[in-house]
Amino acid sequence: MRAEIFLCLHRSLFLSWENIIKENKLEKSFYQIDQKQLATDLQTDLKEGLSKTAAAERLSQNGENALTAKKKKSLLSKFVDQFKDLMIGILLAAAFVAALTGEQTDALFILAIVVINAIFGVFQESKSENAIDALKKMATPKATVIRDGLAEQVPATNLVTGDLVSLEAGDVVPADLRLVDVANLRVEEAALTGESVPVEKTDKILTDGKLALGDQRNLAFMNAHVVYGRAMGIVVATGMQTEVGQIAGALQGQDETKTPLQENLKSLSKVLTYLILAIALLTFVIGYFTQNMPVIDLVLTAISLAVAAIPEGLPAIVTITLALGTARMAKKAALVRKLPAVETLGSTDIIGSDKTGTLTQNKMTVEKVVLKGEIVDLSVQNPFESADLSTAANRLADVMALNNDSQFTAEGLVGDPTETALIDFNEKYRPEQLALLRKQERLQEIPFDSERKLMTTIYGADEAYQVTVKGAPDAILSRVKNVWDKDQIRPLTDEDLASYQKMNGDLADQALRVLAFAEKSVEHLPAEAKSAEMEADLTLIGFVAMIDPERPEVAESVAQAKAAGIRPMMITGDHPQTAAAIAGRLGILEEDDDRDKTVMTGAALDELSDESFEKRVEDVKVYARVAPAHKVRIVQAWQQKGKVVAMTGDGVNDAPALKAADIGVAMGITGTEVSKEAADMVLADDNFSTIVTAIKEGRKVFSNIQKALQYLLASNLAEVIAIFTMTLLGWEVLAPVMILWINLVTDTLPAIALGLEPAQPNSMQQKPRGKTANFLSGGVGPAIIWQGALQAAIVLTVYGLALAFPDHSGTALVHGDALTMAFMTLGLMQMVNAINVKSVHQSGLNASAFKNHFFNAALLFSLLAMMAVVVIKPLNPIFHVTNLDPYQWSIVIAASLAIIVVVELVKWVQRTFFNRG
């Protein structure tokens, strides 16, 4: 709850927290309330906590401290959803009419195709959900709560408003807490605020006005991690009332975003529906008034046209092509929750990415050190190659290890990320000494606090006691008397001081977090270590500069995205300076970018109206210190400009934007469950480079669906033109079962095989097609029309010649032979045309034309299946065909192969004279 929850005065009768909010609206947020007043308002005690009776009553009245999950669809509901496609509805209507007119075989064929498609869709959707569920952590967290003055561990789900909770390093914050007793508490809130460095907490009242979550330092939020210190806190919100819960609730009420694929298919379905109805009606009218055909024959002809016009295999082909894409992506660590998300990535214009854990490693790392008055870059090979530097680095490493509270456990190194980074430095550059140093007994210490900005430890030595100090450079430099240089101690000069201050400023300008280290020796161990004595007259050892570094592979991925015409943006809760530094290192920001225009904070965004923001949105590449509402606003601003927006992230704060984006991509390892549920895709390896791989796969999927669509619609157009022309000429038309068999054989394996075609070589050098493009763009629409008309012309020519010259062999049933030849020519030619559609303008007979072995096998199998209904005589009556002789077969085969010759000639003309392809 952010600045929207109100507290009340004490009442004699207990009210639920929700009723308190409703009935007593004092306009203050939790961080603005004094802890004693808060305890009074919540009828709890700062020492004793709630009574067990009161806790049980509140739990019964307000429910468990848990997020309510959105109810999943049942298998039946998923199955029914598969039939909500317009073309599926037309097919079902055609099956119904066919059954009424006695064409039971036709009706069964149509129903079989529709049901198989629905089953496959349900299977893939359930399979994707299971993959995501496998990533979830099933453990129920515990919480240490004070009730009736006694500490006890209870399931976090049993916490109620007013409970007094104890926090220690390693704990997960179990609810939203107002902190009332803090001892050096630091909390990692990256999942909620995007802050990469743990936040130092306080128990003091904050009197400022509206504060961002990251600045509400006397509150600890549900699901954050305690990395250092301890504290007590009063529960002020549980379950869906917490910050995390409110985000989860907003997600559940948000509508699903339609993907470009879904919009394209929806538009295509509408166009095909209107065309089908118009053609069927026109055919009925022409047949009835000009040919005097019986009504039942006209109905069957209309059904034939409907079956011919509808690419009944298209929904299945799209689903299968997407599923094949998801299978390939799963092998590359990208788990797709919703099939259309595969294709959506291919049309992405904008990638809005969280910084912490997505673009960066979410692990503080020592990147540079200052030794002997110079900055040493650790990224170079052998940074401490010289003897002097090596000795100085060893001394610095020893002090870093001694002045450190991180611990080695069975789970690995545990502690504040800053301190664990110092131990990592030791393990890399001085591993042989680390174990010995960690065994030394710490005699005394002065813990870190925000006023001194220092931490001091005291260890025993052979002849004296060693005092080590670490802290902010300014705080250390103000207490330094000497400097450690060339294995000796010498006085710190004014020139030294100025030099170190300048280096500190230079490192800070690079968004590096700088710590200084110093030491001294004392002869006597004081009874109690005090800052004035122990932290004075120090000897400066050096500085370390740390940052949460970028993932090593991300810079190349950003470059690839830019080359593909995709704009990567950083959207983070971190500080502007840190965000800009990382963005610059990754290439998101360029050297000549004006930071005032390209970097924007959430506060600055709040000051802009929607109209003003729309004018500036194209300039901004980095957003810092943003809240969840800002992320959604950024996504929607780009969508208003017609852009396809992908949003990556791992935190709870990313979830609303993941849901609002055209495609949300969550991290599988570090990602929160809320973000995974909101996303369309989950990256199992948390690797940003997988996004670029997924985009390439998405572009390939769209291209292959386009090929399948060209293949299917050109074939169906040929069938419609042929049947319509046969009706006009008074010829016997192809029966519905004939058309359905052609579509079943040609629309399945060859079309699926087109979905396995490799990506075009230049696919990642092309600009995104965006929302305005559709499946008929790029020359596909015209190719469908002229290739469909060409196929119909060849079929009608074969039919006409067969009728004109019937006596070649003395056989009977002239119309039966002619119709069979037209039927076989149409079917075989469609399959041969699958070779042509591998490229709209390039030759289909190039060197790589037959490298897709599945396509080769599918084409051969389909050709044999098509010919089988004529060659195998018992099948002839079922499909209303006759057995052809060798002469008739030669005409059919020659006519079928003619499509390749003509199409190749047309493509050559397009390339040569019109610069196509």
Pick 522 or 737 by higher pLDDT: 522
Query: Is the pLDDT score of 605 beyond 90?
Result: yes
CA distance between the termini of the chain: 56
Tokens describing residue 458:
């005291």
pLDDT, residue 811, reads 44
17-62+160-237 folds as 2.70.150
CATH 1.10.8.60 assigned to domain 365-546? The reply is no
Q: What is the arithmetic mean of pLDDT over 713-739?
A: 84
Query: Is the pLDDT score of 131 beyond 50?
Result: no
pLDDT, residue 569, reads 93
Among 15-19, 582-586, 588-592, 690-694, the least confident range: 15-19
Pick 311 or 30 by higher pLDDT: 30
- Phi and psi of 236, rounded to 5°? -110, -10
Neighbours of 579 (CB within 10 A): 29
Mean pLDDT of the chain: 81
Closest CA to 321 of 621, 37, 700: 700
The identity of residue 204, as a single letter, is K
Query: Is the pLDDT score of 186 beyond 90?
Result: no
pLDDT, residue 503, reads 94
- Phi and psi of 847, rounded to 5°? -65, -30
Pick 452 or 894 by higher pLDDT: 894
Residue % of the chain over a pLDDT of 70 = 83
pLDDT, residue 483, reads 93
- Which tens digit of pLDDT belongs to each residue from 9-45? 233 323 333 444 333 333 568 888 888 888 988 999 9
Q: What is the arithmetic mean of pLDDT over 609-638?
A: 89
DSSP 479-492: TEEEEEETTEEEEP
DSSP 318-364: HHHHHHHHHHHHHHTTEEESSTHHHHHHHT--EEEE-STTTTB-SS-
Contact 371/392 with Cβ under 8 angstroms?
Answer: yes
Closest CA to 396 of 545, 546, 544, 548: 544
Candidates 354, 416, 574, 680; catalytic one? 354
CA–CA separation, 667 and 649 (whole Å)? 6
CA–CA separation, 242 and 62 (whole Å)? 13
Q: CB neighbours of 385 closer than 8 A, spacing ≥ 6? A: none
**Banded model confidence at residue 133, pLDDT cuts 50, 70, 90:** very low
Query: Is the pLDDT score of 475 beyond 90?
Result: yes
Tokens describing residue 795:
């079929």
- Which tens digit of pLDDT belongs to each residue from 548-560? 888 888 899 899 9
For CA atoms 601, 603, 607, 613, the dihedral sign is positive
Task: Look at the pTM and tell me if it is higher than 0.85.
Answer: no
Give Cα 67 to chain centroid, integer Å: 22
Contact 652/635 with Cβ under 8 angstroms?
Answer: no
- Which tens digit of pLDDT belongs to each residue from 488-499? 789 999 999 999
What does the domain layout of the chain look like in residue ranges? 17-62+160-237, 261-333+694-914, 336-361+552-689, 365-546
Neighbours of 697 (CB within 10 A): 24
CA–CA separation, 637 and 326 (whole Å)? 29
Query: Is the pLDDT score of 85 beyond 90?
Result: no
Closest CA to 749 of 878, 872, 900, 864: 864
- The angle at the Cα of 397, spanning 365 to 383, to the nearest 5 degrees, equals 65
**Banded model confidence at residue 272, pLDDT cuts 50, 70, 90:** confident
CATH for the stretch 261-333+694-914: 1.20.1110.10
- The angle at the Cα of 749, spanning 748 to 750, to the nearest 5 degrees, equals 100
Query: Is the pLDDT score of 138 beyond 50?
Result: no
- The angle at the Cα of 42, spanning 41 to 44, to the nearest 5 degrees, equals 115
pLDDT, residue 23, reads 37
CA–CA separation, 765 and 567 (whole Å)? 14
Q: What is the arithmetic mean of pLDDT over 257-264?
A: 60
The identity of residue 135, as a single letter, is L
DSSP 784-844: HHHHHHHHHHHHHHHHHHHHHS-TTS--S-HHHHHHHHHHHHHHHHHHHHHHHTT-SSS-T
Q: How many residues does the chain have?
A: 917
Tokens describing residue 168:
């220690």
pLDDT, residue 137, reads 38
Contact 565/510 with Cβ under 8 angstroms?
Answer: no
- From 3.40.50.360, 1.10.3720.10, 3.90.1170.50, 3.40.50.1000, which CATH number describes the 336-361+552-689 domain? 3.40.50.1000
Q: Do strands 407-409 and 412-414 pair parallel, antiparallel, or not at all (unpaired)?
A: antiparallel
Query: Is the pLDDT score of 103 beyond 80?
Result: no
Pick 51 or 484 by higher pLDDT: 51
Query: Is the pLDDT score of 232 beyond 60?
Result: yes
Three-state SS annotation for 238-268: CHHHCHHHHHHHHHHCCCCCCCHHHHHHHHH
pLDDT, residue 18, reads 40
pLDDT, residue 341, reads 75
Closest CA to 313 of 752, 724, 699, 736: 752
Query: Is the pLDDT score of 870 beyond 80?
Result: yes
Contact 915/851 with Cβ under 8 angstroms?
Answer: no
CA–CA separation, 152 and 46 (whole Å)? 16
DSSP element (H, E) containing 234: strand 225-237
CA–CA separation, 552 and 586 (whole Å)? 9
Q: CB neighbours of 294 closer than 8 A, spacing ≥ 6? A: none
pLDDT, residue 665, reads 86
Contact 687/668 with Cβ under 8 angstroms?
Answer: no
**Banded model confidence at residue 587, pLDDT cuts 50, 70, 90:** very high
- Phi and psi of 783, rounded to 5°? -65, -40
pLDDT, residue 673, reads 66
Query: Is the pLDDT score of 8 beyond 50?
Result: no
pLDDT, residue 330, reads 80
- Which tens digit of pLDDT belongs to each residue from 197-221? 788 899 889 887 778 787 888 999 9
Q: What is the arithmetic mean of pLDDT over 222-236?
A: 87
Query: Is the pLDDT score of 856 beyond 80?
Result: yes
- Which tens digit of pLDDT belongs to each residue from 373-420? 889 999 888 888 877 788 888 889 989 989 988 887 776 777 788 888
Q: Could you tell me which residues are beta bridge partners of residue 569?
A: 352
Q: What is the arithmetic mean of pLDDT over 516-524?
A: 92
Give Cα 15 to chain centroid, integer Å: 42
Q: What is the arithmetic mean of pLDDT over 189-194?
A: 71
pLDDT, residue 700, reads 85
CA distances from residue 596 to 43, 312, 509, 575 in whole angstroms, order as listed: 49, 55, 16, 14
CA–CA separation, 746 and 828 (whole Å)? 9
pLDDT, residue 6, reads 28
CA–CA separation, 754 and 858 (whole Å)? 10
- Which tens digit of pLDDT belongs to each residue from 765-821? 778 877 766 777 778 888 999 999 999 999 999 999 888 876 554 443 456 788 999
pLDDT, residue 90, reads 64
Query: Is the pLDDT score of 537 beyond 70?
Result: yes
Pick 118 or 468 by higher pLDDT: 468
Compute and round to an integer the Cα radius of gyration of the chain: 36
Q: CB neighbours of 608 closer than 8 A, spacing ≥ 6? A: 616
Q: Do strands 365-371 and 538-547 pair parallel, antiparallel, or not at all (unpaired)?
A: antiparallel
- Which tens digit of pLDDT belongs to each residue from 430-448? 887 777 776 788 899 998 8
**Banded model confidence at residue 686, pLDDT cuts 50, 70, 90:** confident
pLDDT, residue 70, reads 60
CA–CA separation, 298 and 317 (whole Å)? 31
Closest CA to 771 of 702, 694, 697, 678: 702
CA–CA separation, 862 and 903 (whole Å)? 21
Query: Is 255 a residue of the active site?
Result: no
